[in-house]
Chains A and B, each alone.
Chain A
Amino acid sequence: MRKNLLPVSRRALLATPAAGALAAPLAAPAIGQTATIKVGVLHSLSGTMAISETALRDTALMMVQWQNARGGLLGRQLEAVVVDPASNWPLFAEKARELLAVSKVDVTFGCWTSVSRKSVLPVFEELNGLLFYPVQYEGEEQSRNIFYTGAAPNQQAIPAVEYLLGPDGGEAKRIALLGTDYVYPRTTNRILRGYLNSKGIADADIMEEYTPFGHSDWQGIVTRVKQFAAQGKKTAIVSTINGDANVPFYRELGNQGIKAEDIPSVAFSVGEEELAGIDARPLVGHLAAWNYFMSVPGPANAEFLVMWRAYINNPRRVTNDPMEATYTGFRMWAQAVAAAGSTAVDAVREKLYGQKVMAPCGFEEEMHRNHHLSKPVMIGEIQADGQFNIVHKTPTAIPAENWSPFIPENANRRR
């Protein structure tokens, strides 16, 4: 499939999934418009977010193949349509329109950053498409055309900070909120500030800093965190840094000798896939909060792992939370299509409510009418091999509060 050495035209790119080897297992695409059910895949395969999103494209392709191996859906085969919005937010909207209007996809799996989701949202609403968004995010949104299979703040950010404030997390009294400069970190940090204030942590004990996407010069910020921590109170870092900026950030933490015992950091967008690219030894003990870790015990996860490694043909590839959310979302969509007997968006939407799937995280997750899942919360410590040691896990799956009570404007909203 490496035939298009030059980017000939947009349409040629559209029809050809970017990485050669991965496209091979696709079902033979039929030319007729009605013969196949089309599944759009809208993830950045280049640019600053490619580090995170490429694996999600592969997961979506794996699920299409998996469904086809089981005879497809409604007696029809599935066909994936992969596009590359290249970490370029306006391009996300263009590519979404292309998927819906030109390729006429029945469902789309896509987006990682909230800014990309905000960019495609009007397109999906205008053309009545169906988007499954697999990443934890800041909440404050609910579209009838989007199903959110990642965590809302109460399913990730708030429990993680609660852990840092507790005895196991080191009873932090000062918090440094570091993030990439866009809507997700800013909104999440606004919610967290409200939460921290409610826990008696004053604004003077909260430091907030933002950096551009792909930022690489972290020396000033890490030094300032050190100074911030040198004021006599236990300090912790809450990181909403996204994409490949995490690599130089953790490298700087390691180089400046910041150990997790002194200043623990908890990240919301760093998982196994991101850690695969760096030496994790200096990072042992730093935390991440997710709803799934590759190290979760249980048969559902073992099955997921086997399926993924067989598909990607690499016995050492890792899985992560957004991949699990893509898997869960796809299974729910497939069940809803089977129940509705059609791929029409309105029919599928109705059938999605109440749909349940045994997720690899070991819990049965349910899609609620607020378009969000109930999910367990897990906190893991980074280990030297880049895996996570789960140090905290909620006993049950928690329903999502996508409108956070810590944002004052939401007080009058009906939940």
Chain B
Amino acid sequence: MLLLGLFLLLGPARAQAFDSLVPRLGGSFAEQAEAVERLGALGDARALPLLQALADSRLLKLADGGVAVQQGSAVPEGASPVRINNRVRVALRGALGRLQLASPVAAQRLSAAEAILRNRSAEDIPALEAALAREQNAQVRERMELALGGSRLASADAAAKRAGIATLGASSSPEARNLLLASRAANAELGAEIDAAVAAIDRKLQLRQAAETFFQGLSLGSVLLLAALGLAVTFGVMGVINMAHGEFVMIGAYATVVVQEFCRNIPALQPWSLPLAIPVAFLVTAVIGAAMERGLIRHLYGRPLETLLLTFGVGMVLQQVVRLVFGAQNREVISPAWMMGTLVLPGGVTITQNRAWIILFALAVLLATLAAIRLTRFGLEMRAVVQNRRIAATMGIRTGRVDAMTFAFGSGIAGLAGVALSQIDNVSPNLGTGYIIDSFMVVVFGGVGSLMGTLIGAFTLGLVNKILEPYAGVVLAKVLLLVGIMLFIQRRPKGLFALKGRAADQ
């Protein structure tokens, strides 16, 4: 309504200004930015489609020097798309914001409020107040209040400024803090109030930072957990030092790539390619693991050094095979839409979606592993063989078969880790080498043979790493962590959760 009113009020002078500004949208970047700003300030509704087209790079510069919105995909003779740079983009955001505040689409109103917040001026106050009175959507309201606070702060009236400071201080966004700090110099008389508002925001921000660090630690911990869980089975339960574990992770990631490429041709399956990859990756790596156990490792039980060398060699062979089949270049993995972007929790804590899903996935895999070991017949047989192989055999358990299945199970879990890692790391033949050390670190730290130890160990290491990172930097944090683990292992050679009783003696 407001826009319509403005539009009706437009005099001929404004129309003339509009006509003279439009061709300049096709000029140099500086000219573009100026024209965009002035068009936004004019409030002429005719500018909206033009500016929108400019932002979406659908605006064409015509042969006669004028501009027009591109229709369809065809570009007329002599016309070329108008290009913009960051400076123009910033101006566009401001101008579009003012024009979109009354839009029926909530997302557009939100971006309008964001835009005003970034390029605020006192002129926006009436429009914002009117918009706020109508607004129902909580998220948009919050942004609009911020924008209103910012605009009030930009006005000349002291009372309005005070109201603005109060609004901004009540929020917990870094943008509000920025606005307050930026206005500090120009408003010396309101210094005390601004400082108090900034301090209030700082307290909230500190809490939020702590929450975000905690989440990032959980996220790193979940990656470590996924990578180490398979090893906790093969190394922890069976005692096989499997240096090819990282390669199983890598093969799981490549299985994801293959499934995604297969799904690319079938539109109905496309959104499900990642969930589909989960069983495929598990089966592929489990089969390779079983073959490796039956073919090679079982001949070397009780000879850890030979097993280490053998599995190291197998790992190199697997890497080279993948390199020959898929090429040495990294493979692109598509992230589904539900794994992109950021989740905003109450209090403004932000969590990237892909990391949040991986935390859930890691916990799900852990639960499934526990269930398989505790609740199934296979798990029972596995525990029996681990506790006493001979008596298990006399009870009719085919220990060889159980060995193969246990190793296949551990390898399959490594494959599952590959599915998750394909979403956050580069899928290359070297993918696994980066995780093998970390995996052993987690298993040894947590206590060999204890899944709970692996869980606690992974999350402890993840959290400690992320807490150290801001102070020590990424490289040094890792070094400190390794030193810490070395000292810890000196004190407690069996890790956090040492097995007790007969199993510990084996």
Contacts and interface: CB of A to CB of B under 8 A. Distances in A.
12 contacts: A45-B328, A50-B328, A50-B428, A168-B86, A214-B426, A219-B219, A220-B466, A247-B426, A260-B89, A261-B90, A264-B86, A384-B57
B342 A257 contact: yes
Interface string A147-172: 00000000000000000000111100
Contacts of A27: none
Interface in A197-255: 209-212, 214-217, 219-221, 223-224, 226-227, 229-232, 244, 247-248, 251-252, 254-255
A389 B83 contact: yes
Between B83, B177, B328, B473, the greatest number of chain A beta carbons within 10 A of the residue's beta carbon is seen for B328
B354 to A, nearest CB: 7
B29 A168 contact: yes
B473 A231 contact: no
A322 B430 CA distance: 24
Interface in B418-477: 424-426, 428-430, 434, 466, 469-470, 473-475
Given A2-B324, A219-B216, A220-B469, A230 B174 contact: yes
Contact of B424 (A47, A217, A229): A217
B181 A232 contact: yes
Contacts of A335: none
A216 B434 CA distance: 10
Nearest to B321: A5
Contacts of A212: 474-475, 478
A277 interface: yes
Interface of B: 29-30, 57, 83, 85-87, 89-90, 93, 118, 174-175, 177-178, 181-182, 205, 209, 212-213, 216, 219-220, 223, 320, 323-324, 327-330, 332, 335, 340-342, 350, 352-355, 424-426, 428-430, 434, 466, 469-470, 473-475, 478
Contact of B86 (A221, A229, A260): A260
Given A220-B213, A248-B425, 18 more contacts: A5-B324, A181-B475, A209-B473, A210-B473, A212-B478, A214-B426, A219-B216, A221-B474, A223-B209, A227-B209, A231-B181, A232-B181, A244-B428, A277-B332, A285-B89, A383-B57, A384-B57, A391-B29
A46 B478 CA distance: 25
Interface residues of A, number: 59
Contacts of A51: 329-330, 426
A119 interface: no
B432 to A, nearest CB: 12
A213 to B, nearest CB: 10
B90 to A, nearest CB: 5
Interface in A276-292: 277-278, 285, 287
A214 B212 contact: no
B89 A168 contact: no
Please name the 7 residue pairs, one residue from A and one from B, whose CB atoms are nearest each other, closest first.
Answer: A230-B174, A232-B181, A46-B328, A216-B425, A255-B352, A244-B426, A391-B85
A48 interface: yes
A381 interface: yes
Interface in A312-332: none
B329 A47 contact: no
Interface in A1-51: 2, 5-7, 18-19, 45-48, 50-51
Contacts of A54: 328-329
Contacts of B213: 220
B182 A244 contact: no
A256 interface: yes
Contacts of A50: 328-330, 428
Contacts of B89: 260-261, 285
Nearest to B344: A257
Nearest to B425: A216
Contact of B434 (A209, A214, A277): A214
A281 B83 CA distance: 15
Given A217-B220, A217-B223, A391-B29, A255 B354 contact: yes
Contacts of B329: 50-51, 54
Given A219-B352, A244-B426, A224 B219 contact: no
B216 A210 contact: no
Contacts of B474: 209-212, 215, 220-221
B341 A257 contact: yes
A128 B98 CA distance: 67
B318 to A, nearest CB: 13
Contacts of A277: 330, 332
Contacts of B328: 18-19, 45-47, 50, 54
B87 A211 contact: no
A381 B86 contact: yes
Nearest to A214: B434
A221 B328 CA distance: 28
B178 A231 contact: yes
A50 B350 CA distance: 34
A6 B324 CA distance: 9
B340 A254 contact: yes
A19 B327 contact: yes
Nearest to B179: A232
A168 B209 contact: no
B87 A216 contact: no
Contacts of B118: 261-262
Contacts of B342: 255-257
Contacts of A223: 209, 212, 216
Contacts of A224: 470
B220 A226 contact: no
Q: Which of A5, A257, A261 has the most CB of B within 10 A?
A: A261
Most chain B Cβ neighbours within 10 Å, of A50, A255, A384: A255
Nearest to B173: A230
Contacts of A209: 473-474
Contacts of B341: 255, 257
A262 B117 CA distance: 12
Nearest to B180: A232
B86 A48 contact: no
B86 A261 contact: yes
Contacts of A260: 86, 89
A211 B426 CA distance: 16
A51 B57 CA distance: 30
A261 B93 contact: yes
Contacts of B430: 46-48, 214
A155 B335 CA distance: 37
Contacts of A181: 475
A264 B213 CA distance: 24
A254 B213 CA distance: 19
Nearest to A171: B87
B177 A232 contact: yes
A247 B353 CA distance: 17
Contacts of B85: 168, 285, 381, 389, 391
B332 A278 contact: yes
Contacts of A232: 177-178, 181-182
A224 B477 CA distance: 15
Interface string A67-109: 0000000000000000000000000000000000000000000
A46 B327 CA distance: 9
A357 to B, nearest CB: 29
B466 A216 contact: no
A223 B89 CA distance: 24
A45 B86 CA distance: 36
A383 to B, nearest CB: 8
A287 B90 CA distance: 15
B264 to A, nearest CB: 15
Contacts of A211: 474-475
Nearest to B320: A7
A264 to B, nearest CB: 6
B178 A230 contact: yes
A232 B174 CA distance: 9
A170 to B, nearest CB: 6
Nearest to B182: A232
Contact of B87 (A2, A170, A248): A170
Given A217-B424, A232-B182, A169 B475 contact: no
